[in-house]
Chain A
């Protein structure tokens, strides 16, 4: 192939142009890393790495900043969202691949994927105006009255339910990532060879036993990749949570409390940062978020590629 285009000068020019265009992706990745690192260097010098990651300070007046509160909010909101999204998404995938009659498979698949096309700001606004009041009036008081009474679990549900909290943010995030997880799991399930499933049926297995003992073990790499991909997405989701989290820098045991994630902190404070250290600390947060989500997404991609290779063999 290379011999072909060396003959023609236009080909050399065209191949160089297209090469430059594709290398732009590399340039962005390296550029983002370099620029964020350079911009956050005042904060890195002042706070170091370990101190910044573990400090719960976020005080623009005293110019003392730490990432712990934002990291904690990100971790909790993401954990809640995965806890809800994983079972639901796998259920959806099972429904589409194994249960739904053929004429329903495509429409339901499309409908679930349309959920993924709705922009995150719509989720956020809907969360603020519609979901948050419902949470505050019905669901959160109900949780306090039931789970909140359970010894040990009670600390998770303390405080006045306002609807602007980690739980609401986690629920909205879960609605956002369900489509990703569901459609990747569906694709993974679909790769299970019919013959293998049929042999299990021939042994007298029920439908659920086929799913549990044949389909899921066969496709676990792909499903796991899908889950990690959703985790990566949830980490960096901004607008969906910016409306309903309250941007409150605190570490709280209750999921009915306002909190802050890295993304919410950036969205709310970036344009307001009035001192160099403040702005540098925000860049520092952005750098942490970039590295965190990049690594997560790379791991997801690794598993998805492994799953792909395994089935193509």
Chain B
């Protein structure tokens, strides 16, 4: 009897600890999101979106340059990263399906997804900043694209593999060449999944700071020239938060709020699409 009691108590204690662990995890989520929300909303103002930075310490500045710069860098990163990723994933799931090379690239991509992004920043610095002689927006976009490619590539591969092989055989039987089967049958079947992969990869790079520090750098003036240093929200947050001025800190909170909302929206949208297309997961 006592033995049984002991085991029950032990079980109860262990399960309570797990519950506390889950609450602990949720606690941080609420704490961080709540803090960003409260501090961010307090600092939000039209000036943030409409004005360029004021001289350090002066009130009234905004981050218009950083919003535009962030959009441009992310846009061009997507423009480079998505086609390469989707095509690469197509090769793995279609032409090289079941081959050793496909398996190897797939595993290496998984590893690349988690490789420190700051290392990619140093790599791009060496090949796109040092030879040119100055920081530039293109370097930032390429750095982000390199982070995106493995993400898009892996999701594309997975999503294409979910399309039943019999569907392709049906198309082959009609005499369609493989490229037509891929574009008109397989891509259509996997469109929602590929789109989700793209959304999640944008969410992934939109918050990246480390690879931009020594590629696109920063620019306190409004600039849309990708050949010059260009401001980004994340690098501005880093600079402003580490700076000594309260107005800077407030703007950093507001910028953090905008970035967090953008990324959480993309992440949730991606989940909604997956659930709508592939049922409950």
14 examples of A-B residue contacts, CB within 8 angstroms: A21-B86, A32-B123, A89-B25, A92-B21, A95-B18, A96-B22, A99-B18, A115-B25, A118-B263, A118-B264, A119-B208, A121-B207, A270-B121, A286-B118
Verify if B11 is at the interface (C-beta below 8 Å from A): yes
Give the CA-CA distance A29 to B223 in the complex, in Å.
Answer: 32
Residue A67 at the B interface, CB < 8 A?
no
Closest residue to A298 on the B side, CB-wise? B111
Q: Compute how far the CA of A126 lies from the CA of B249 in the bound complex, rounded to whole angstroms.
A: 11
Interface residues of B in 219-277 (CB under 8 A from A): 234, 237-238, 241-242, 249, 252-253, 256, 259-260, 263-264, 267-268, 271
Task: Report the Cα distance A58→B124, complex, angstroms.
Answer: 25
Evaluate contact between A21 and B84: CB separation under 8 angstroms: yes
Q: Pick the contact of B116 from A25, A31, A130, A238 — CB < 8 Å? A: A238
Chain B residues in 8 Å Cβ range of A22: 87-89, 91-92, 96, 102, 105, 153
**Given that A283-B126, A297-B111 are known contacts, is A19 also in contact with B91, CB under 8 Å in the complex?**
yes
- A39 and B129 CA atoms in complex are apart in Å by 13
| Residue in A23, A99, A175, A298 whose beta carbon sits within 8 Å of that of B19 in the complex | A99
How long is the Cα–Cα vector from A195 to B208 in the complex, in angstroms? 44
Q: Is the CB of A29 within 8 A of B118?
A: no
- A286 and B119 contact, CB distance less than 8 A: yes
Query: Is the contact region of chain B dominated by helix, strand, or loop, or is it mixed?
Result: helix
Size of chain B's interface in residues, with CB distance under 8 A?
93
Given contacts A229-B114, A237-B116, contact A36 B122 (CB under 8 A): yes
Option from B31, B149, B179 in Cβ contact (under 8 Å) with A14: B179
Instruction: Count A-B pairs with CB separation below 8 Å.
Output: 281
- On whether the beta carbons of B123 and A31 are closer than 8 Å, the reply is yes
- Supposing A28-B146, A209-B7 touch, asked if A270 and B260 sit within 8 A by C-beta, the answer is no
Contacts of A289 in B (CB 8 A): 116, 118-119
- A24-B149 contact, Cβ under 8 Å, with A115-B28, A117-B267: yes
Contact B18 A92 (CB under 8 A): yes
A301–B154 Cα gap in the complex (Å)?
A: 14
Cβ of B202 to closest chain A Cβ, rounded Å: 12
B213 touches which of A5, A123, A270 (Cβ 8 Å) = A270
| Given known contacts A4-B172, A270-B122, A236 and B117 CB-to-CB distance under 8 angstroms | yes
Report the nearest A residue to B102, measured CB to CB: A22
Asked whether B47 is an interface residue with its Cβ less than 8 Å from the other chain, the reply is no
Q: In chain B between 1 and 47, which residues have their CB closer than 8 angstroms to a CB of chain A?
A: 7-8, 10-12, 14-15, 17-22, 24-26, 28-29, 31-33, 35-36, 39
The interface on chain A, measured as residues whose beta carbon lies within 8 A of the other chain's beta carbons, has a size of 93
With a cutoff of 8 Å between Cβ atoms, the chain B residues found around residue A122 in the complex are: 32, 36, 207, 256, 259-260
Cβ–Cβ contact B177 & A129, under 8 A = no
B25 A120 Cβ-Cβ under 8 A: no
- Decide: B179 and A25 in contact? CB cutoff 8 A: no
Nearest B residue (CB) for A25: B109
Question: Which listed residue, B126, B217, B271, touches A36 by the CB 8 Å rule?
Answer: B126
B208 closest partner in A (C-beta)? A119
Complex interface: stretch among A42-50, A106-114, A149-157: A106-114
The answer to whether B15 and A99 have CB atoms under 8 Å apart is: yes
**With an 8 A cutoff between CB atoms, is A170 at the interface?**
no
Question: In the complex, what distance in Å separates the CA atom of A209 from the CA atom of B252?
Answer: 49
If A22-B105, A108-B22, A125-B241 touch, whether A119 touches B114 (CB-CB below 8 Å) is no
- If A8-B179, A121-B238, A122-B32 touch, whether A235 touches B264 (CB-CB below 8 Å) is no
